[in-house]
Amino acid sequence: MPLDHTAQGVFPIAPTPFLPDGAIDWPSAERLFAFYASIGADGLTVLGIMGEAPKLEPQESLALLKLAVKYMAGKPIIVGVSAPGFAAMRSLAREAMEAGAAGVMIAPPNTLRTDDQIVGYYAQAIEAIGTDIPVVVQDYPLITSVVMTPGVIRRIVTDNPSVIMLKAEDWPGLEKISTIRTWQAEGTLRPLSIMVANGGLFLDFELERGADGSNTGYAFPEMLIDVVRLAKAGQRDAAHDLFDAHLPLLRYEQQPGVGLAVRKYVMMRRGILGSDAQRKPGAGLSATAKAEVEYLLKRLARFDKRAVM
Amino acid sequence: MPLDHTAQGVFPIAPTPFLPDGAIDWPSAERLFAFYASIGADGLTVLGIMGEAPKLEPQESLALLKLAVKYMAGKPIIVGVSAPGFAAMRSLAREAMEAGAAGVMIAPPNTLRTDDQIVGYYAQAIEAIGTDIPVVVQDYPLITSVVMTPGVIRRIVTDNPSVIMLKAEDWPGLEKISTIRTWQAEGTLRPLSIMVANGGLFLDFELERGADGSNTGYAFPEMLIDVVRLAKAGQRDAAHDLFDAHLPLLRYEQQPGVGLAVRKYVMMRRGILGSDAQRKPGAGLSATAKAEVEYLLKRLARFDKRAVM
Amino acid sequence: MPLDHTAQGVFPIAPTPFLPDGAIDWPSAERLFAFYASIGADGLTVLGIMGEAPKLEPQESLALLKLAVKYMAGKPIIVGVSAPGFAAMRSLAREAMEAGAAGVMIAPPNTLRTDDQIVGYYAQAIEAIGTDIPVVVQDYPLITSVVMTPGVIRRIVTDNPSVIMLKAEDWPGLEKISTIRTWQAEGTLRPLSIMVANGGLFLDFELERGADGSNTGYAFPEMLIDVVRLAKAGQRDAAHDLFDAHLPLLRYEQQPGVGLAVRKYVMMRRGILGSDAQRKPGAGLSATAKAEVEYLLKRLARFDKRAVM
Amino acid sequence: MPLDHTAQGVFPIAPTPFLPDGAIDWPSAERLFAFYASIGADGLTVLGIMGEAPKLEPQESLALLKLAVKYMAGKPIIVGVSAPGFAAMRSLAREAMEAGAAGVMIAPPNTLRTDDQIVGYYAQAIEAIGTDIPVVVQDYPLITSVVMTPGVIRRIVTDNPSVIMLKAEDWPGLEKISTIRTWQAEGTLRPLSIMVANGGLFLDFELERGADGSNTGYAFPEMLIDVVRLAKAGQRDAAHDLFDAHLPLLRYEQQPGVGLAVRKYVMMRRGILGSDAQRKPGAGLSATAKAEVEYLLKRLARFDKRAVM
């Protein structure tokens, strides 16, 4: 399915399942992608930071992508192709598209400073990969140290027709979404899908500000799907009730550096992954942290049956 | 009251009340400090970043401190004295102590990189202000860009007897608290008060990891006090229930850059502040943001009568 | 003498003389300012980073400034007023102007990222200090981490009539000077004095690109004055010959962090300062470094009699 | 020839020659490597930042390396393998060694902050590539933002027997070299080759501090070779005379971001490269900059016949 500015819903960020010895756990990968398809995910992002992409061999990345394409049966798959050089970015992007991806995501390198540098970088990256590939711009200053004003995003979108989605994870980010939506209402900016992330910490209000959906990786993606559905149906209180019930765990999972370990642990406890292993180098959870997650799951289970283990 | 390593409980971070024209709102300041005293705050921090200290004239800072000392009636007041030069830091610190402060808080400048640079900076700062003033080390990498390992904190504490408190707001920070407490249990680190902050986002588990209390500035400091009390009384579920009820608003208030506007708005709505004004430069809340806060307050009021407006 | 966009020539950055015990060495300060006046310096900058300003008490700063004003007899004195808060910046600026300063220099804080943040910062700073004070914008990314494009400089200059000088120390910076001069030739930017710095490492070509002079602090400011004079007189080869003879030492003095120690050591050897002491915290030169400087001086003395000790 | 801690002399950083259309200019590459062999270079570094490595396709990188190996006839070739992920770093390193490289160079990613993070990163990288590959640690804070104290370098060297060389380009860096050499003289640090870089700006004194040679990429590498030879022969004045004659041009070539364009331009003027083209994205020299380089060459030619064009 082609990816364009009408994209909406929930595109989970898929982790990469590993065996304790560091090899890819292919049965878990099949189970994982089948799970995403079964809950009605509208798409998927693979090979992002949370997918431990930099630890994968090229052939592993490609095989994982192809498996996702197969299981998601026509739903669009986005592939992270951020790379220090445009040669590698081009190879990754072209190979991904040939393997069935619907688009690529590019984060700015943390050496960029001025507005012109950021705008110039996207122009060069898109020239390198080719203007025929749909591009997701990742705006995540907490991790990239690159701050994009709404004006810079407008310049990138205006200059590059192949940019069709903003992965919005600035923090704070609510006013940025409102500004972009205002410009679009005024007709000074063309349509653009806005999918929010940053661990989902503000999904509730981001949807009300005009986000089209979520592109993040919480261990209960069904909640993200339900919240998006409820918000779009105008059931504001119900959306917040469900979101708030998950917020204590979601906040715990959003911790930088630790989050992936929490996510994999919970997905293992849910029976989706066979192990919570990360490929080296990667930190696991301490015994205390695991007990804290278990406590959060038990508390969550009072409100959401899916957390009953 | 002297400030030492036995400090515990809740030391709110006090905002500085302003009139819409930018002058200090002294009646609100009196009401604010009276409020903190009335709810049983164990101490107070004034003139921190959230107190808009860099916008104050020296005589304003001093008058504000003296007012806090008067109203807090013997409870320890901590004063932020971070400054680009040791001459200014020394003046600030000595004047604050003469005016009744119990200790000072020092954050590392964001140019420090290596372990030795950080350790050396605290040695120089403490030599500059004098070794007789109790010092709080502020560990807040999200804002300062300075990353202190537990080992660096141990070196600072060991080298400088006047360091009596860690304001712990690393993110993630749970394992750091556990590491420090383990070292103290083993006897390889002397006693140290650990007060947690970072907007309170992990207060629930930080207390369970061994924090002595909270040194942050949420608009409902009574909740912080109650959670600390419940946690210390071993009422784990009750502590989490109360914390979780506040988490949606607390998270909203913890947004970098926007948080102070939220805090002042809520404290104005509570009748504590006469206005939510910040002295220039400072951003206010958009109409949409205010409506979001109102919605969060209404939801919170279902669980906590103090949020009924 | 008022400071405006016609400023040109050499404005040395004055170090602050200290006694070995850390007190200000007032006789050396008198000798130093008399020296600058005697060599025909067109102005002076005091209380900058290289003047160890953050280590000075307010009354020391003011006394130093007044002494410089007295000795420079009508030549404009620029005072560094960069500060973390606008209240302190305002006090510093107003007091400096009352004490006889001709203008103030403001560097951007290293937390600024986007073009709009930089432009906004200067607008706020100038509103805080008052629009009647001539302002020098310091563009020094190596130290401040803030990158200003020529476009951002144009916005600052256009928005703020009181900005009359750019202290240009970007690295590389030659094309930036050419761009600004081209805009002025085209009439799209109003006149602006450009004084170059960054230790003088590119003074030779910067003058040819259109710089009005130098605002840096080499231990032989007479060389800077001669090079500016020769360049303006069209004696290109002579200007480069003199500059190149000093380049080995100038490069040695331009080392970040070490440069001030080299400068003070050489000025002590020249008999201008009574000591090379810095107020704490400050690093001195190792014995090896001193021997290297002596060797460089001996080599320089072959070409420039002023280096004969 | 194996690469170990006895490495010394000059290992130029080779640029990658391109045709104006962006294709690799293979005849120029042959001429370039033949040139390095003819002047007596002791080794070579290919595929570094200055070799535009991130713009090359994997097969291009490999072919370039093999050509260098062939022409350098047994002299050690070092290959830059810095990469955002350990999977890519491992592939690059293993392939390079199979193609005839003698060792690899690894720079720390600019996200590292604490001493432990830096030490841990090198441990993980070396575990990933295999402990049988000689490793050069690149210490270049100006570019990487990572500050390694001498103590951190000692930990890395002590922990990892395969680390055999430090590419020292801290700035300032003279005292760091002295500290390391002192430790080795005391026997608290094992032998280690120190090759200096940072454009060669301090080569003269770095050799006197104990550096084994130069690993940088000036357009007249013969000068580097001569200066190293003269310094080792105890001809101090002659070494400085030659170095100082080149310093005005060397300084011009050392400008961040512009330096490669200068280097390629001069090597084209020397007849070594057929073009000064960089593969996109890359900035060329303005007409004014070219004229400045020509002027510097003409001045240099008065002292060094090799600069006669």
Helix (H), strand (E), coil (C) string for A114-127: CHHHHHHHHHHHHH
What pLDDT is stored for residue A286 in this prediction? Answer: 97
Q: In B53-149, where does DSSP find H-type helix? A: 58-72, 86-98, 115-129, 141-144
In the numeric block, the tokens 């004006």 are attached to: A151
State the average pLDDT for chain B: 96
What pLDDT is stored for residue C1 in this prediction? Answer: 63
What pLDDT is stored for residue B48 in this prediction? Answer: 83
Q: What is the mean pLDDT of residues D270-283?
A: 94
What pLDDT is stored for residue C52 in this prediction? Answer: 92
Q: In chain D, where does DSSP find H-type helix? A: 26-38, 58-72, 86-98, 115-129, 141-144, 150-159, 174-186, 203-209, 221-232, 236-253, 259-269, 287-301
Asked if pLDDT for residue D297 goes beyond 90, the answer is yes
Distance between first and last Cα of chain C: 35
Asked if pLDDT for residue C203 goes beyond 70, the answer is yes
What pLDDT is stored for residue D1 in this prediction? Answer: 63
What is the rounded distance in angstroms from the CA atom of residue D103 to the CA atom of residue A187?
57
Structural tokens at position C76: 């404009």
What is the rounded distance in angstroms from the CA atom of residue B123 to the CA atom of residue B135?
11
- Contact residues on chain B for D171, CB-CB shorter than 8 A: none
Long-range contacts of B145-151 (CB under 8 A, 24+ apart): B145/B110, B146/B108, B146/B109, B146/B110, B146/B112, B146/B118, B146/D113, B147/D113, B147/D114, B147/D117, B148/B108, B148/B118, B148/D114, B149/B115, B149/D114, B149/D115, B149/D116, B150/B176, B150/B179, B150/B180, B150/B183, B151/B115, B151/D116
Contact present, C243 and C204 (Cβ < 8 Å): yes
B→D interface, C-beta within 8 Å: 113-117, 146-149, 151-152
Chain-chain contact of C255 with D178 (C-beta, under 8 angstroms): no
Whole-Å CA distances, D1 to D42, D77, D104: 11, 9, 14
A120-A125-A131-A135 Cα dihedral, nearest 10 degrees: -100
pLDDT tens-digit map of D20-62: 999 999 999 999 999 999 999 999 999 888 899 999 998 999 9
**C-beta atoms surrounding C233 within 10 Å:** 10
What pLDDT is stored for residue C130 in this prediction? Answer: 98
Chain-chain contact of A251 with B248 (C-beta, under 8 angstroms): no
Q: What 3-state DSSP class applies to B238?
A: helix
Q: What is the mean pLDDT of residues D2-25?
A: 96
Look at the alpha carbons of C45, C47, C49, C51 in this order and tell me if their dihedral is positive or negative.
Answer: positive
Averages of pLDDT over each 10 residues, chain B, 309 residues: 92 97 97 98 92 91 97 96 91 96 96 96 97 97 95 98 98 97 98 96 98 97 98 98 98 94 98 96 93 98 95
Question: Nearest CA to CA, how far is B297 from chain C (Å)?
Answer: 32
What is the rounded distance in angstroms from the CA atom of residue B180 to the CA atom of residue B195?
13
Q: Which of C198, C104, C107, C197 is nearest to C144 (CA)?
A: C107
DSSP state of C307: G
| Beta-strand relationship, B135-139 and C103-106 | unpaired
Please confirm whether the linkage preceding B172 is cis (ω < 30° from 0).
yes
Secondary structure percentages of chain D, helix, strand, coil, to 5: 50, 10, 40
- Contact residues on chain B for A292, CB-CB shorter than 8 A: 174, 205, 208
| ipTM at complex level | 0.97
Q: What is the mean pLDDT of residues C131-141?
A: 97
A→C interface, C-beta within 8 Å: 113-117, 146-149, 151-152
Chain-chain contact of A286 with B201 (C-beta, under 8 angstroms): no
| pLDDT greater at residue A281 or residue C253 | C253
Q: What is the mean pLDDT of residues C91-119?
A: 96
Ranges of residues in chain A whose predicted pLDDT is under 70: 1
What pLDDT is stored for residue B1 in this prediction? Answer: 63
Using alpha carbons only, give the angle D183, D189, D191 rounded to the nearest 5 degrees: 105
Structural tokens at position C269: 């050897």
Look at the alpha carbons of B206, B211, B214, B215 in this order and tell me if their dihedral is positive or negative.
Answer: negative
What pLDDT is stored for residue A309 in this prediction? Answer: 87
What pLDDT is stored for residue A283 in this prediction? Answer: 81
Buried b (16+ CB within 10 A) or exposed e, C51-82: bbbbbbeeebbbbbbebbbebbeebbbbbbbb
Question: Nearest CA to CA, how far is D92 from chain A (Å)?
Answer: 11
**C-beta atoms surrounding B163 within 10 Å:** 23
What is the rounded distance in angstroms from the CA atom of residue D221 to the CA atom of residue D227?
10
What is the rounded distance in angstroms from the CA atom of residue B281 to the CA atom of residue B301?
32
Structural tokens at position D124: 């993980």
What pLDDT is stored for residue C273 in this prediction? Answer: 98
What is the rounded distance in angstroms from the CA atom of residue C11 to the CA atom of residue B300?
61
Chain-chain contact of C147 with A114 (C-beta, under 8 angstroms): yes
What is the rounded distance in angstroms from the CA atom of residue B304 to the CA atom of residue C8?
67
Q: What is the mean pLDDT of residues D261-284?
A: 95
What is the rounded distance in angstroms from the CA atom of residue C263 to the CA atom of residue C254?
9
Q: Mutate which of A110, A111, A112, A114 to test chain C, going by most C C-beta atoms within 10 A?
A: A114
Asked if pLDDT for residue C182 goes beyond 80, the answer is yes
Q: Mutate which of A177, A180, A206, A295 to test chain B, going by most B C-beta atoms within 10 A?
A: A295
Asked if pLDDT for residue C151 goes beyond 70, the answer is yes
Q: Which helix (H) or strand (E) holds C139?
A: strand C135-139
D→B interface, C-beta within 8 Å: 113-117, 146-149, 151-152
Q: What is the mean pLDDT of residues C25-54?
A: 95
What pLDDT is stored for residue C283 in this prediction? Answer: 81
Asked if pLDDT for residue C64 goes beyond 70, the answer is yes
Q: What is the mean pLDDT of residues C141-169?
A: 97
- Contact residues on chain C for D248, CB-CB shorter than 8 A: 204, 240, 243-244, 247
Name the closest residue on chain C to residue B125, using Cα atoms. C281
Contact present, D76 and D43 (Cβ < 8 Å): yes
What pLDDT is stored for residue C117 in this prediction? Answer: 97
Q: What is the mean pLDDT of residues C235-262?
A: 97
Contact present, B198 and B167 (Cβ < 8 Å): no
Contact present, A24 and A275 (Cβ < 8 Å): no
Q: pTM value? A: 0.96
pLDDT band at residue C2, thresholds of 50, 70 and 90? confident
What pLDDT is stored for residue B267 in this prediction? Answer: 98
Chain-chain contact of B292 with A258 (C-beta, under 8 angstroms): no
pLDDT tens-digit map of A230-252: 999 999 999 999 999 999 999 99
Measured between CB atoms, which of C171, C247, C257 is closest to D255? C171
Chain-chain contact of D113 with B152 (C-beta, under 8 angstroms): no
Name the closest residue on chain A to residue D117, using Cα atoms. A281
Structural tokens at position B274: 């006469």
Structural tokens at position B7: 């400090």
Q: In chain A, where does DSSP find H-type helix? A: 26-38, 58-72, 86-98, 115-129, 141-144, 150-159, 174-186, 203-209, 221-232, 236-253, 259-269, 287-301
What is the rounded distance in angstroms from the CA atom of residue C164 to the CA atom of residue A293?
59
Q: Please give the biggest Cα pair distance in chain C.
A: 55
Contact present, D239 and D223 (Cβ < 8 Å): no
Question: Nearest CA to CA, how far is A171 from chain B (Å)?
Answer: 7
Q: What 3-state DSSP class applies to D103?
A: strand
- Determine the residue type at A153: I
| Beta-strand relationship, B9-10 and C103-106 | unpaired
Measured between CB atoms, which of D114, D147, D149 is closest to B149? D114
Question: Nearest CA to CA, how far is D144 from chain B (Å)?
Answer: 12
Please confirm whether the linkage preceding C256 is cis (ω < 30° from 0).
no
What count of Cα atoms within 13 Å lies in the side-chain half-sphere of residue C300? 25
State the average pLDDT for chain A: 96
What is the rounded distance in angstroms from the CA atom of residue C229 to the CA atom of residue D228?
37
